[in-house]
Homo-oligomer: A and B are copies of this chain.
Amino acid sequence: MKKAEILKLLRESGDYLSGQELCSRFGVSRTAVWKIINQLKDEGYEIEAVQNKGYRLQSSPDLLEEGEIASRLGTGRMGNNLICLPSTGSTNVDAKKAAEEGAAEGTLVVTDCQEAGRGRRGRAWSSPAGCNIYFTLLLRPPCRPEQACMLTLVMALAVAKAVRELGLDAGIKWPNDIVLSGKKVCGILTEMSAETDYIHYVVIGTGINVNQEEFPEEIGKTATSLKREKGEGVARATLLASIIGHFERAYEVFSASWDLRSLLPAYQELLLNKDRPVRVLDPGGEFQGTARGINESGELLVEREDGTLEAVYAGEVSVRGIYGYV
């Protein structure tokens, strides 16, 4: 894809590049280069053209599009197969379909707008166009199904790290919500297809409120966006590339033991639930306690009032006291 390559070269140079240089570099005609430059301008890139000097990139629009993303990804397998869609029903559905058809580990489906975005247990996930990030990463981990469940925490860690690098004080609400000023900015939905002891594939869908400014009333009290918290817009393709990079490194660490032992310190440090009250909806009876951290399997360790420690699963616990006063 010549467009992405020319864009990358312009961005990396930061200075003028002559049309002649671009022609010989990519083996295309001056007319072809001129056409690509015009295409980029149409998409919102500001490119200065100066006689005898050449082209210089002045600014990029906030696009979530193949050239923008591919030119920023510094990963190996993750995102190597990149599927960018202007809009789609749900990136998890697309990724599952691709997986059934044999798509490789690391396949990344990204879209600017989801018409049928879904959260956990079939709940809707608001996915307006032009401001946020919606992506799904396809994995084929050679581990057991219950080990793959921890991947949702690995992604939470990757997103939290990338958001913190923007200068924002992001924390994790166990198991996988990213929280800023007591409000949620990211949701993760991990799904898998497996035999009893063999995983066909795992898809990790992630939705991040990036530059969204207005929220519907019903979620405005519990949801926010990076732009609202930071006071300025965030470049989506750059953030996405950063998340995928963090995830690739964390996944490599995770896959050495297929548990969270090596990621535990980093996760615990960002865990907002620590030393906070929690209500556990145990099948054997509800109880109150204090969250103390997680274990290597990703379970939340809850201290009962009598001092005993219990490990609880996601889905069994109602973690109150985080939203609103972090």
Q: Using a CB–CB distance below 8 Å, which chain A residues touch chain B?
A: 120-121, 144-146, 149, 152, 175, 189-198, 200, 313-316
Measured CB to CB, the closest approach of chain B to A94, in angstroms, equals 14
Known: A145-B149, A313-B144. A194 touches B196 (CB 8 A): no
Docked CA distance A191–B199 (Å): 9
| A198 neighbours in B (Cβ, 8 Å) | 120-121, 315
Minimum-distance CB pairs A-B, first 7:
A197-B315, A149-B196, A146-B146, A197-B314, A190-B196, A152-B196, A191-B195
27 residue pairs A–B, Cβ–Cβ below 8 Å: A120-B195, A120-B198, A121-B195, A121-B198, A144-B313, A145-B145, A145-B146, A145-B149, A145-B194, A146-B146, A149-B196, A152-B196, A189-B195, A190-B195, A190-B196, A191-B193, A191-B194, A191-B195, A191-B200, A192-B193, A193-B193, A196-B314, A197-B313, A197-B314, A197-B315, A197-B316, A198-B315
| A149 neighbours in B (Cβ, 8 Å) | 145, 196-197
| A193 neighbours in B (Cβ, 8 Å) | 191-193
Q: Do most interface residues of chain A lie in helix, strand or loop, or is the interface mixed? A: mixed
A145-B145, A152-B196, A191-B195 given; name 11 further pairs at CB < 8 Å: A120-B195, A144-B313, A145-B146, A145-B149, A149-B196, A189-B195, A191-B193, A193-B193, A196-B314, A197-B314, A198-B315
Chain B residue, CB-CB nearest to A143:
B283
Measured CB to CB, the closest approach of chain B to A281, in angstroms, equals 12
Measured CB to CB, the closest approach of chain B to A122, in angstroms, equals 9
Docked CA distance A81–B224 (Å): 45
Measured CB to CB, the closest approach of chain B to A172, in angstroms, equals 15
| A152 neighbours in B (Cβ, 8 Å) | 196
Docked CA distance A192–B194 (Å): 5
| A175 neighbours in B (Cβ, 8 Å) | 196
